[in-house]
Amino acid sequence: MPHKANAARRRHIPRSKRRVLNWAEYDAALRQRGSLTVWVTDEAIAHWKAAPRSTPGGQPAYSDLAITTALMLRAVFRMALRQTEGLLASILHLLGLELPVPDHSTISRRTKTVILPKPPRTTSVPLHLLVDSTGLKLCGPGEWLIEKHGTKKRRSWKKLHVGMDAASGRIVAATLTGRDSDDAAQVGPLLDQVPGRVASLTGDGAYDRTSVYAAVQERHPGAGVVAPPRCDALLSDTADRAPSPRDRHIQTIAETGRRAWQKTSGYNRRAMVEGQIGRWKQVLGPALRFHTDDAQATEVAIGVMVLNRMLNLGSPNSVRVT
């Protein structure tokens, strides 16, 4: 780290090397992510038209599944709404289907109110939740334009909070907040989205808060919290007779060191959620494309569905090379 002031005193740990054992299957899964048959399924075509409405009001022409299919295509191929409309029209034409195509205005309007399908619970075993956050840019001038001509409007961004199942790698919870939101304050909303039981919650030092421990115990009694305490963290007054989970973290670090604590507590698994955030920005992009809060919330939910769908196609089975 040459940009660090104390680079000479830092402990340099060589980066571990890994080898993918199922490269043939994973390579086929990567190619299949670009197949249109993955995103325009037979189920979407069968339920393309909206069901008859039983309450007073106008009759929608397209079902929520049709709008969801259009939004997923838009997210995967990073297209504008007009190009998404054209892609859908060409797909339905090639399939020989006489189905109406939602125009870009309808897709934009329905994005704010579309009801997305709930993700299925894959296992009944309590999951280990990995949480982290990142920033997503909003619309604004690019870096080149800012450097070349300057800008009068300050660029803004929002914060994306994700919760990931450590066993399956699926994103099971996500929230979108303002850039000033605290990471620890979103633990409760993330836990409320998780179907089933939670065995533990793992996060970085931003989640070393009393409110985090309280939110986990309130919703999932007995679940553990793995968050590194600050270097100057102090034990509670009851640490001698009734140590809290945070007290035990501090005591273990003092006895064995931080690196040993990371290994024994399972904190190293947190790197998985960082990798998931990296995949989000690589596949879906580092910015939000809609402008309203409701549409941006739907955009984030669609992103979760896209990444989980890609994971269902196949994931790498890698082992560490010694």
Q: Is 75's pLDDT higher than 50?
A: yes
Q: Are 131 and 157 in the same domain?
A: yes
Q: Rounded mean pLDDT of 177-198? A: 92
CB atoms within 10 A of CB 79: 15
Number of residues that this document lists for the chain? 322
**Does residue 134 sit in the same domain as residue 274?**
yes
**Residue 113 in contact with residue 294, Cβ under 8 Å?**
yes
Is residue 48, in this structure, part of any structural domain at all? yes
Residue 165 sits in a domain whose CATH number is 3.30.420
Model confidence at 218: pLDDT above 90: yes
* Cα 161 → chain centroid: 7
pLDDT computed for residue 1 by the predictor: 47
Q: Which residues contact 235 (CB under 8 A, 6 or more apart)?
A: 243, 247, 250, 251
Task: Report the amino acid identity of residue 41.
Answer: T
CB-CB contact of 41 with 70 (8 Å): no
186 and 246 co-located in one domain: yes
Residue 318 lies in a domain: yes
Read off the DSSP letter of residue 8: G
Same domain, yes or no: 284 and 301: no
Query: Domain for residue 190, yes or no?
Result: yes
Shared domain check, 201 and 148: yes
Q: What values do phi and psi take at 78, rounded to 5?
A: 50, 55
Residues 143 and 211 reside in one and the same domain: yes
Is residue 312 one of the residues assigned to a domain? Answer: yes
Do residues 102 and 138 both lie within one domain?
no
In a domain, 5, yes or no: no
Task: State pTM to two decimals.
Answer: 0.87
CA dist 251 and 235 (Å) reads 8
Hey, what are 134's tokens?
Answer: 């990142």
pLDDT in tens, 46-55: 999 888 877 7
Domain count, the chain: 2
> How confident is the model at residue 140, as a pLDDT?
61
Residues spanned by the domain of 28 = 16-117+297-322
Per residue in 120-153, pLDDT (tens digit) is 766 678 999 999 999 999 866 566 666 666 665 5
Residue 259 falls inside a structural domain:
yes
Domain co-membership, 144 together with 247: yes
pLDDT of 56 > 80? The answer is no
For residue 67, give Cα distances in angstroms to 39, 62, 81, 119, 289. Answer: 12, 7, 11, 17, 16
d(CA 86, CA 112): 21
Q: For the chain, give me the number of helices (H) and strands (E)?
A: 13, 7
272 and 199 within one domain = yes
Looking at the structure, do residues 249 and 319 belong to the same domain, yes or no? no
* Claim to verify: residue 38 and residue 88 sit in the same structural domain: yes
| 9 found inside a domain | no
Tell whether 84 and 22 lie within a shared domain: yes
pLDDT tens per residue across span 312-322: 999 888 888 87
Reported as a single tens digit per residue, the pLDDT across 150-171 is: 665 556 889 999 999 999 999 9
Residue 3 lies in a domain: no
Residue 186 has what DSSP assignment? G
